[in-house]
Structure 1
Amino acid sequence: MSSRRRFYARPLFAAAASIVVLTGAASTAPAATPPIDGAASPAAALDDTYYQAALGKTGTALKSSLHTIISDQTKLSYSQVWDALKATDADPANSSNVILLYTGRSQSKSENGGDVGDWNREHVWAKSHGDFGTATGPGTDIHHLRPEDVQVNSIRGNKDFDNGGSAVSGAPGNYTDGDSFEPRDAVKGDVARMILYMAVRYEGDDAFADLEPNDSVNNGSAPKIGRLSVLKQWSQEDPPDSFEQNRNEVIFDQFQHNRNPFIDHPEWVEAIW
Structure 2
Amino acid sequence: MTKKLWFLPIVCLYFIFGWAAPSASAGAPADTNLYSRLAVSTAGTFFPQTASSVITTSADTDTYYKEASGKSGTSLKSALHRIISGNTKLSYSQVWDALKETDEDPANPNNVILLYTQESRAKSKNGGSVGDWNREHVWAKSHGNFGTSAGPGTDIHHLRPADVQVNSARGNMDFDNGGSEYPKAPGNYYDGDSWEPRDEVKGDVARMLFYMAVRYEGDDGYPDLELNDKTGNGSAPYMGKLSVLLKWNKQDPVDSKEKRRNELIYEDYQHNRNPFIDHPEWADEIWK
SS state at 1:148 partner: strand
Question: Following the alignment from structure 1 to structure 2, what is the Cα–Cα distance between the partners of residues 80 and 16?
Answer: 30
Shift in alpha-carbon separation, 1:44–1:254, aligned structure 2, 3 A: closer
Q: Is the CA contact (8 Å cut-off) linking 2:144 and 2:237 kept in structure 1?
A: yes
Cα offset, 1:169, TM superposition? 1.7
Counterpart Cα distance in 2 of 1:18 and 1:265:
27
Q: Determine helix, strand or coil for the equivalent of 1:203.
A: coil
Q: Is the 8 A contact 1:120 1:147 kept in 2?
A: yes
Tell me if the contact between 1:14 and 1:241 (Cα under 8 Å) persists in the aligned partners: no
Residues 58 and 263, structure 2, Cα contact 8 Å, conserved in 1: no
Match in the other structure for 1:85: 99
Higher helix fraction: Structure 1 or Structure 2?
Answer: 2
Distance 1:259 1:18 in 2: 25
1:246 corresponding residue in structure 2: 260
Letter in 1 for 2:245: L
The offset of 1:85, in angstroms, is 0.2
Contact 1:15–1:241 (8 Å) recurs in 2: no
Q: 2:241 aligns with which of 213, 223, 227?
A: 227
Gaps of 5+ in 1: 1-10, 20-24, 33-40
1:108 maps to a residue whose letter is A
- 1:37 corresponds to which residue? none
CA contact 1:204–1:210 (8 Å) conserved in 2: yes
Q: SS of the counterpart of 2:243?
A: helix
Q: Report sequence identity in percent.
A: 68
The structure with higher relative contact order (CA 8 Å, sep 6+) is 1
Q: Retained in 2: the 8 A contact 1:124–1:194? A: yes
User: Residue 46 of structure 1 corresponds to which residue in structure 2?
Assistant: 61
| Partner residue, 1:3 | none
Task: Write the mapping of 1:80-229 to structure 2, written as runs, cut at 5 A.
Answer: 80-229=94-243
1:206 to partner: Cα distance: 1.2
Paired residue total: 246
2:45 to 2, 7, 15: 15
Q: Aligned partner of 1:111: which letter? A: K
Is the alpha carbon distance of 1:85 and 1:52 closer, same or farther for their aligned partners in structure 2, counting shifts above 3 Å? same
1:107-131 CA deviation, whole Å, 9 max, x = no partner?
0000000000100000000000000
Rg bigger for which structure?
Answer: 2
Answer yes or no: is the 8 Å Cα contact 1:76–1:140 preserved in 2: yes
Counterparts in 2 of 1:153 and 1:14: CA distance versus 1, 3 Å: farther
Look up the match of 1:264.
278
Is this contact kept in 2: 1:18–1:242, CA < 8 A? no
SS in 1 for 2:162: strand
Contact 2:47/2:106, CA 8 A, preserved across alignment:
no
1:255 corresponds to 2:285: no
Shift of 1:64: 0.3
Deviations 1:21-64 (A, max 9, x none): xxxx74445xx8xxxxxxxx9699411x2111111100001000
Q: Is the 8 A contact 2:58 2:267 kept in 1?
A: no
Task: Check conservation: 1:43, 1:265, Cα contact below 8 A.
Answer: no
In the alignment, the residues of structure 1 paired with residue 247 and residue 86 of structure 2 have an alpha-carbon distance, to the nearest angstrom, of: 29
Structure 1 Cα separation of the partners of residues 57 and 124 of structure 2: 33
Rounded to whole Å, the distance in 2 between the matches of 1:43 and 1:180 is 37
Q: Could you tell me which residue of structure 1 aligns to residue 3 of structure 2?
A: none
Runs ≥4 residues deviating over 3 A: 16-19, 25-29, 41-45
User: 2:48–2:107: 8 Å Cα contact kept in structure 1?
Assistant: no
Cα distance change, pair 153–84 in 1 and its aligned pair in 2 (3 A): same
